[in-house]
Amino acid sequence: MSPPTYQCGYCTSGQMMSAVAILRDPSISADDASVREAMSGNICRCVAYRNILAAIQSARAKMKEVPNA
C-alpha cells in the first residue's frame, strides 16, 4: 500500500483484509467517515490510522481508473 502506511506490523494482516473487504463492498460509502467506521474493529498500536485511511482511499481511486477492478 502506498503512501507509507504501516510502521510496526502489529495490525497489518487485519487492516489489509478489512481494506480489501471495504473496497469490494458496494454498501460501504466512499466517504472517510464510512471507511473509518468499517475499519473501527482493527487495533493499531502505532496509530497509523490516518495513513491507512489515505491508502484505502487512494486504492479506491485507482480502482475506478481500471475497468472491472
Question: For residue 12, what pLDDT band results from cuts at 50, 70 and 90?
Answer: confident
Q: Is residue 31 part of a domain?
A: yes
The whole domain housing 53 covers 12-65
* pLDDT in the model for residue 13: 87
Who has greater pLDDT, 30 or 42? 30
Q: Is residue 7 part of a domain?
A: no
For residue 36, which phi and psi values (nearest 5 degrees)?
Answer: -60, -45
Q: What's the total number of domains in the chain? A: 1
Q: Rounded distance, CA 58 to CA 53, Å?
A: 9
Work out the average pLDDT over 42-66. 87
Q: Is residue 6 part of a domain?
A: no
For residue 6, is pLDDT > 80?
Answer: no
* pLDDT in the model for residue 62: 92
